[in-house]
Structure 1
């Protein structure tokens, strides 16, 4: 699998890798955990026919620096705001997945970053996204996980990745996602970003969600084993009444992996792609 991010930018805490594709109105894609920008590889070519598409690996993820000490969602938000300034991008459309949703919402609601539209795909947002047993275990006992031998940690990470897909991750995709966590410093980075990435980063957002004025589209894989459709409806209830919800059959948490074609159709119908 070829997915290269040729550009490098120093955040002050470590470098991140990024790339842009195509030409047109700016569109920024935010990945979640435990993925990377690789998750967008199947839909970027189509999106880039109408947009300048920006992708980046968050600090601690993918091709970016893995040894940074602060990879919290609050820090990732600060990096996003600085990156947009570095790119010279104003009021982009944003598509955010998983905890990328918290990063996008923090940027918009707490940092005053302007977006033209926001799409949330199986995205952490309203209260309850950090309630899963795995999430609570890592947050409560990070030292235990860092003590695991590499073979045990690698098996755990692989199982976590596999559980994101309803149809089954392709072998090359699984290898790529695993590689970021099995490289030097990667296992520690995996534990660190979960330990630092809890709901404390989304608490401030809750009373502000209903006041969003830009168009918002919520897209959800109905077979999500991490965040159910009930959670999606909870999010919909917290957002303005005009928010659109699109449910994706035969897709789990990683909609981009399970149903990339259907996802593109949904984005196209909403005039994002």
Structure 2
């Protein structure tokens, strides 16, 4: 079921819920948080597979995918984490399993740690949280957002396409690049692309990093072994910071876009994770 939901701060969020309608057939709710510059569309194949036994909630963050609007809205990580918390309340779900990728990791962790939303588990895939993050291109856009937003559409399309192509490993296909670039190559999409980049600031993840030891649910980390955007060493560092030193699963040959580059391996991994017995003793937060 697709539904556009208007949040209290104004933006309309494109959402989709797929899976069992009966609570008896639902083995647990799952919320998927996409990253940048992607949307929930990238996650549909996995969501459909998981929806055989789970109710899966997808959302395009305001400023992304089907939630791109003609008028610019706030798209910083603080605002997005608060929107996720509000969506959970609107959906009426408590303690979902959460799968988060890229900046979706910061959004999900922020909703958990700073907006006090409880999760049954967290699967963190190539997430943006630990320093350093944000490329020189991010800084260049932040300093010159109006200039980039005004470049001719053909040049903008070439820039977006090249930028997205640089996220994948060697096997990342041209068709995937074109599909991911499409939402940004419209009249509304072009300024939205640079606005979201300019709004992403490492200082917004600092409070999350400072409280990673307080995560209250089981976690698992997945990482593309050849991720060109976020160094693989961050996965190991993240595991050492989170309670319980969670396992890291590597996806050989994959870059930053594991859902597209290694979909079968990711589906097998996530389904095995969801089959874990989470009914054991709660995760103990590390001393701050």
Alignment partner of 1:109 out of 109, 113, 116:
113
Shifted more, 224-233 versus 252-261: the winner is: 224-233
User: Matched residue of 2:126: which SS?
Assistant: strand
Tell me if 1:127 matches 2:131.
Answer: yes
Does the aligned pair in 2 maintain the 1:13–1:68 contact within 8 Å? no
Q: CA deviation at 1:171?
A: 4.6
Q: CA deviation at 1:127?
A: 1.7
Tell me if 1:216 matches 2:219.
Answer: yes
Q: Which residue of 1 aligns with 2:10?
A: 13
Q: CA deviation at 1:76?
A: 1.2
Q: Which residue of 1 aligns with 2:259?
A: 256
Q: Which residue of 1 aligns with 2:238?
A: 235
User: Matched residue of 1:46: which SS?
Assistant: helix
Q: Which residue of 1 aligns with 2:79?
A: 75
Q: Which residue of 1 aligns with 2:189?
A: 186
Does the aligned pair in 2 maintain the 1:221–1:253 contact within 8 Å? yes
Q: Which residue of 2 aligns with 1:118?
A: 122
Q: CA deviation at 1:141?
A: 2.7
Does the aligned pair in 2 maintain the 1:93–1:118 contact within 8 Å? yes
Aligned residues: 268
Q: CA deviation at 1:172?
A: 4.4
TM-score between the two structures when normalised by the length of structure 1: 0.93
Query: What CA RMSD, in Å, does the superposition of the two structures yield over aligned residues?
Result: 1.7
CA distance in 2, matches of 1:225, 1:74: 26
Q: CA deviation at 1:167?
A: 4.0
Does the aligned pair in 2 maintain the 1:224–1:252 contact within 8 Å? yes
TM-score between the two structures when normalised by the length of structure 2: 0.88
CA distance in 2, matches of 1:233, 1:136: 26
The gaps in structure 2 that reach 5 residues or longer are 21-25, 277-288
CA distance in 2, matches of 1:169, 1:58: 24
The gaps in structure 1 that reach 5 residues or longer are none
Does the aligned pair in 2 maintain the 1:14–1:68 contact within 8 Å? no
Shifted more, 211-220 versus 237-246: the winner is: 237-246
